[in-house]
Amino acid sequence: MADTLIKGADVVLTMDNQRRELHGADLLLRDGVIADIGHDLTAERAAVFRAKGKIVTPGLVNTHHHLYQTLTRAVPGAQDALLFGWLQRLYPIWSRFGPEEMYVSAQVGLAELALSGCTLTSDHLYLYPGGARLDDTIAAARDVGLRFHATRGAMSIGESKGGLPPDALVEDERAILEDSIRVIDSFHDPREGAMVRVGVAPCSPFSVTRDLMRDAALLARDKGVMMHTHLAENDEDIAYSLEMFGCRPGQYAEDLGWTGDDVWHAHCVKLDGAEIDLFARSRTGVAHCPCSNCRLGSGIAPVRQMRDAGVRVGLGVDGSASNDIGNLVAEARQAMLLQRVQNGADAMSAREALEIATRGGADVLGRDDCGQLAIGKRADIAIWDAATVENAGSWDPAALLLAGPMKVDALFVEGRQIVSDGRMVTIDLPKVISRQNFLAQGLADA
Ligand SMILES: [Zn+2]
């Protein structure tokens, strides 16, 4: 691939260790990494991207999603339900999915993320109806061109055993572990610059047994992969934990090996002070999903307290059935606003929220090769137009989350341009959308 020289950006928000903000600077992308940053760079035969009038940031990192849910946005009956009722409305619809639904819905979700500045996303796929496999979403990420941290989710406690999901959507625990081994061996790339990694991710403590939680942790550590689940999402979740396990979610997680720098938990809206200390001490990560938490009325996660205590926090758009959009820059803005609702106007700056959305997320996913613009880091770059209606009149273009566009102008992943002039260049998005709508109609008619 030819080198790319990004030339003369109005401002480059590096998110490097000094949090430098460079004006009129250039970046040279070579062999998937940032080869140089500075002023008046030259490179023979490089493709030149003229960045005057643009704001350059690291690509945003999404730490929690259920891509398949883009096929069930704004479903009547689930629009205004609390978490458990919402799940019960959607499970029967999801049980009619198959490989094509997984592939197309993932393409839609990944393109939506890319257009909002995201270069690296995780996905939590915890149901496998109709022959669907994790492979379907990995294929979608390869075709869209995003860096991908797939997680092999699972549910094993169906209705007949007192669980929430219908029996048809749950799997045998031995089969779950075997397929987890298969997908790790087939797709996980531990190397720096990896485009695909795989993690192990039982859906939540209330959808699998204690044994599977423990075995999944042992498997993940044996294979050297990360672990992910939902934790402490709302008051119902805490009540369930106290009643069924006799302890709070933090204790449950710790007892089963679910703390550590190779673990990240989604939501954590209801962590108490002791649990925040536990997460900080153990270097356990959090995927904060503010829009989903608002949408489901779950509450405001104590992100200010977590950050102050040293907990690693990234952002997640969460599944599209609970957001229902998957725009990561909008998510970052929401994160900033919610902390202000809770703690006052000086509780989180636009720059800090962008930091959480970039290097914060990369840190949570164990990717110290991503999330910042520095020499030697991966060439994952979001470029924003500084002359949109949203930032016209802005005195501080770098305060992107106070006044800035909600879509990128251009996006590079591993040095490859996948968004140009605000459009996907890797896939025929209108065609994918039309297929998605056809599949959604089929699910609605069934
Ligand atoms: Zn989720």
Q: Which residues of 116-142 are buried (b: 16+ CB within 10 A; e: fewer)?
A: bbbbbbbbbbbbbbeebbbbbbbbbbe
| Range 9-37 average pLDDT | 98
pLDDT tens digit string along 169-208?
999 999 999 999 999 999 999 999 999 999 999 999 889 9
CA 421–ligand 1 middle distance (angstroms):
31
pLDDT at 421: 98
CA 81–ligand 1 middle distance (angstroms):
15
pLDDT at 55: 98
CA 221–ligand 1 middle distance (angstroms):
23
pLDDT at 81: 84
pLDDT band at 108 (very low <50, low <70, confident <90, very high): very high
State the angle between helix axes of 134-144 and 173-187 in degrees (0 to 180), rounded to the nearest 10.
30
CA 319–ligand 1 middle distance (angstroms):
6
CA 84–ligand 1 middle distance (angstroms):
13
pLDDT band at 139 (very low <50, low <70, confident <90, very high): very high
Distance of alpha carbon 289 from alpha carbon 188, whole angstroms: 25
CA 65–ligand 1 middle distance (angstroms):
6
Is pLDDT above 80 for 235? yes
CA 227–ligand 1 middle distance (angstroms):
14
pLDDT band at 84 (very low <50, low <70, confident <90, very high): confident
CA 291–ligand 1 middle distance (angstroms):
11
- Measured CA to CA in angstroms, residue 212 lies from 11, 168, 191, 233, 242 at distances of 48, 18, 28, 20, 19
Among all chains, which residue has been given the structure tokens 């930032």? 391
CA 388–ligand 1 middle distance (angstroms):
32
CA 92–ligand 1 middle distance (angstroms):
18
CA 256–ligand 1 middle distance (angstroms):
20
Give percent above pLDDT 90 in the chain.
94
CA 172–ligand 1 middle distance (angstroms):
22
| Range 96-117 average pLDDT | 98
Is pLDDT above 80 for 363? yes
Is pLDDT above 80 for 12? yes
CA 265–ligand 1 middle distance (angstroms):
10
CA 64–ligand 1 middle distance (angstroms):
6
Q: Which residue, 225, 146, 151, is CA-closest to 189?
A: 225
Is pLDDT above 90 for 232? yes
CA 425–ligand 1 middle distance (angstroms):
29
Q: Which residue, 243, 302, 304, is CA-closest to 267?
A: 302
CA 308–ligand 1 middle distance (angstroms):
25
Is residue 346 packed enough to be buried (19+ CB in 10 Å), middle (13-18) or exposed (0-12)?
Answer: exposed
CA 91–ligand 1 middle distance (angstroms):
14
CA 267–ligand 1 middle distance (angstroms):
8
Q: Which residue, 310, 307, 372, is CA-closest to 335?
A: 307
What mean pLDDT value characterizes the chain? 96
Distance of alpha carbon 89 from alpha carbon 95, whole angstroms: 11
- Measured CA to CA in angstroms, residue 444 lies from 70, 73, 92, 274, 365 at distances of 14, 12, 11, 45, 35
Distance of alpha carbon 10 from alpha carbon 317, whole angstroms: 29
- Measured CA to CA in angstroms, residue 157 lies from 167, 168, 202 at distances of 8, 11, 11
Q: Which residue, 12, 125, 15, is CA-closest to 363?
A: 15
Is pLDDT above 90 for 350? yes
CA 234–ligand 1 middle distance (angstroms):
12
| Range 283-297 average pLDDT | 96
Residue 251: CB partners within 8 Å, gap ≥ 6?
none
Beta bridge partners of 142: none
CA 31–ligand 1 middle distance (angstroms):
34
pLDDT tens digit string along 393-442?
999 999 999 999 999 999 999 999 999 999 999 999 999 999 999 999 99
Distance of alpha carbon 336 from alpha carbon 290, whole angstroms: 9
CA 100–ligand 1 middle distance (angstroms):
21
**Is the distance from CB of 89 to CB of 74 less than 8 angstroms?**
no
